[in-house]
Structure 1
């Protein structure tokens, strides 16, 4: 039985909410601001590519969408689950094999750099790993969806053109996330130092701070994975809409 897909929009993205909770970003962006920013990101050559993707003739041999849609959706859900599980295992090295491991810092670091730098390196390694996996899933999903109907093939062509036009800007925006995480971890470490100066047991305080580092970094990574998956998820939702329109 096909699992229900979450209804996700950019405006309610978990990544936006997490960064807002960290007081790292403003979320109030008007429709006019968004469209103006998008217009700056897509240049004349990109506009031509989008027009060509929308206008060119497309053909599909088999238009019985419902007979293949379940398999495409199930494969997307399985792949998404594997990406999330692999990322979460890395936070708990004893929970299973993982190439990237959360830094074990049993003793309180002497300064903030020693506390924060290993966590940031871990996050950046995870970003690179997740980026590769999600891009592969997006490409596989697009290739599968494009064979199901002419309408879906056109959506996939536009998706490909948009991906090319916005890839650089998306990478630039996501590359700024570790800097925002660094601000948060530095703040948490400063709180730990203040608490120990006020008389809190240093070892107990560090254990609590270390776990908060882990929890917040884990939540941020999950939110980023969700945001990165949105384009592929949009293609899966297009399948469901196509089936609904046929009924």
Structure 2
């Protein structure tokens, strides 16, 4: 079962830390406030829609719920866990570290092949993009389902669901652009590991070292582990809005007790 997602601010997300761990330099915290950055990302039309969502009343607040809020929250939390478990398994079961079928596979490389054959990052780029598409397909409908569950529960929850829908649509393009840079950064890390391994070979001149790049501890095996760690961090980042909506449902249940 998937573990609960931690509540972190934007500069402390697991994805930012995972990417920062791939470089020697620290990732500095932004000096802008979240509101300032959000204002740069939203257009005038988005701002009007956001204002309407924040100030609109939600009818039906007094209607009795079909089932206790706690049951809804528990069911939604289980649904989120199932989606996360399925996506995480797809990421970790890639045919490199665990044998067996995988929905999206990394290329199978022969350890006896020339080192130059492993110098192409393109298959790993396609692999990362495929997992990003997989996450979008699975997480988008789940987020819409959770929003629907909030509608009609309470005025505050209805406004939160409407606000989430506006933010989801308004920031979709910005999110795609930012997440598209992640495999680019991984490509630079791939080149760094490859160049470092080639430099080691030039110094040692041992044929055995050249054949170890796919073995545990080898440069390519370690890169694959880093790639998977970043994918898992991105998965948790994408699920955070859903976790927040479910937490709001729990808070409403507690308030009414």
TM-score by length of 1: 0.88
| Equivalence for 1:121 | 126
Structure 1 residues without counterparts, runs of 5 or longer: none
Task: Give the 3-state SS of the residue equivalent to 1:172 in structure 2.
Answer: helix
1:3 deviation in Å? 8.3
Task: Give the 3-state SS of the residue equivalent to 1:101 in structure 2.
Answer: coil
> Does 2:136 correspond to 1:131?
yes
How many residues are paired up?
A: 245
1:214 deviation in Å? 1.2
Distance 1:111 1:90 in 2: 22
Question: Is the 1:87–1:126 contact (alpha carbons within 8 Å) kept by the matching residues of 2?
Answer: yes
Deviation per CA, 1:144-197: give whole Å up to 9, x if none: 233433321110100001111111111100011111000000000011111111
CA 1:168–1:25 in 2, change beyond 3 Å: closer, same or farther? farther
Deviation per CA, 1:199-227: give whole Å up to 9, x if none: 15211245311211210111011011111
Distance 2:192 2:253 in 1: 49
| Equivalence for 1:174 | 179
Distance 2:228 2:86 in 1: 16
Distance 2:247 2:137 in 1: 22
1:143 counterpart (138, 148, 170): 148
Structure 2 residues without counterparts, runs of 5 or longer: none
| Equivalence for 1:202 | 210
| Equivalence for 1:164 | 169
Question: Is the 2:90–2:103 contact (alpha carbons within 8 Å) kept by the matching residues of 1?
Answer: no
Alignment of 1:36-185 (within 5 A): 36-58=36-58, 59-60=60-61, 61-63=63-65, 64-92=68-96, 95-107=99-111, 108-111=113-116, 114-185=119-190
Instruction: Single out whichever of 41-50 and 104-113 deviates more from structure 2.
Output: 104-113
1:134 deviation in Å? 1.6
Distance 1:204 1:66 in 2: 53
| Equivalence for 1:29 | 30
> Does 2:6 correspond to 1:7?
yes
1:51 deviation in Å? 1.5
CA 1:39–1:216 in 2, change beyond 3 Å: closer, same or farther? same
TM-score by length of 2: 0.85
Deviation per CA, 1:35-61: give whole Å up to 9, x if none: 222111111111111121122231243
Instruction: Single out whichever of 3-12 and 174-183 deviates more from structure 2.
Output: 3-12
CA 1:244–1:136 in 2, change beyond 3 Å: closer, same or farther? same
